[in-house]
Chains A and B, each alone.
Chain A
Amino acid sequence: MSFEFGPVAACTVLLGLWMTGLTQLPSKLMLYALQTVTLGLLAIWVGKQHGEPALVAAGTAVALLKGVAVPVYLNRVVRRLGCRRDEGLLLAPPLLLFATAGALGALMLLHPFSRQIAPSALPTIGMLFIGMVLMVSRRLAVSQIIGFLVLENGIFFYTIAQPHSMPPVVELGVLMDILAGTMLAGLLTFRIRDSFEHIDVTELKQLRG
């Protein structure tokens, strides 16, 4: 990977880190859109440099669909649900931001993973980790969707960072899955609201067998 990759990668990870400290859902969505568009542009740029038209196409699709369409849709969902704030679970979001930053720093320094994972791929794992943190640390169902999307961004990031990226068919297929999944999750959130009169995931404890 060329050295220009580094600052952009750091930017996307930092955007993700910023998201862990936010309580307002619209601003979180804004940051997510920024992150995804950046990643899409990065993919287009990398694809141009390596002469891989498939990666360019994938990057464009990601930037447009995941970076614009999905946040707009989720923003509408949030507005119609009428709950803009997610207080977070256990740890207050600002504290969580510091804890996550510490954990990420430790991850970078210790590098406890297989040597097959190049140091250049570490930020991508960091973004995966941030996605997990976002999913686990919030109460509302919409936050879980956002966390999942960030996690998926991490995976996409990983495929760009690898010298041999995934076949474009797989990449686009995953993209389609994510879109459909997000639509479904958005609709299901309404269903949850209608049946439980809230979308607080911590209260959904009757789902066990």
Chain B
Amino acid sequence: MLLELKDINKTYFGAQPLHVLKGINLSIGRGEFVSIMGASGSGKSTLLNIIGILDNYDSGEYWLDGRLIKDLSEKQAADYRNRMIGFIFQSYNLIGFKTAVENVELPLFYQGIGRRKRHQMAMEYLDRMGLAPWANHFPNEMSGGQKQRVAIARALVTHPDIILADEPTGALDSKTSVEIMDLLGELNREDKMTIIVVTHESGVANAADRIIHISDGVIGSIEQNRDHNAARFGSGDLIK
């Protein structure tokens, strides 16, 4: 297993302590395309943050590629994030004052890779996303779909073990959403990339091979999903 979660618990201590994750057990193998689905407040984003080493958990064990991810120093966490995980966010999270290609180069910059090499690698991935002509444009000169593809290129450029996508289509229209999900599906099939998508839209979740339903901090059901052509992005929750 590439990724293994054992009895993960997480509580946010505020005015009212909030037990968000109540014993999550989950295994994801290399090359899987998994979606984590749940309503807002179900704990799915917290789970994603823990998987992405952006957040800590209180108890349990999280193994990533044979390494126990627990109590890491900031430096180690940054290094693991950089080398093992590629992030895709709902709001793209591109840096506004950097061009597309510079955004894609940034993770490589933090790896200490030289400029020429960096540029060449970034261009390669932008080209794969069909964005080579847009390399020198700034994010605010691009459409939502293009921005998300730049973000995907940035996630891929370090050859990570996992792509983590947090509501990747949340800010896109339905036609573009289909394109982005198709792109992720293609990456999974052709490059054997492990992809985890967090969403509340069943149409998006439907693109994955396995759908993990989470509600109130526990995993409700896990559903195998082989028929990706069922009504996608149909009318609300009635689809499938």
Q: Do A and B come from one complex?
A: no
Residues of B within 8 A of A (CB): none
Interface residues of A (CB under 8 A from B): none
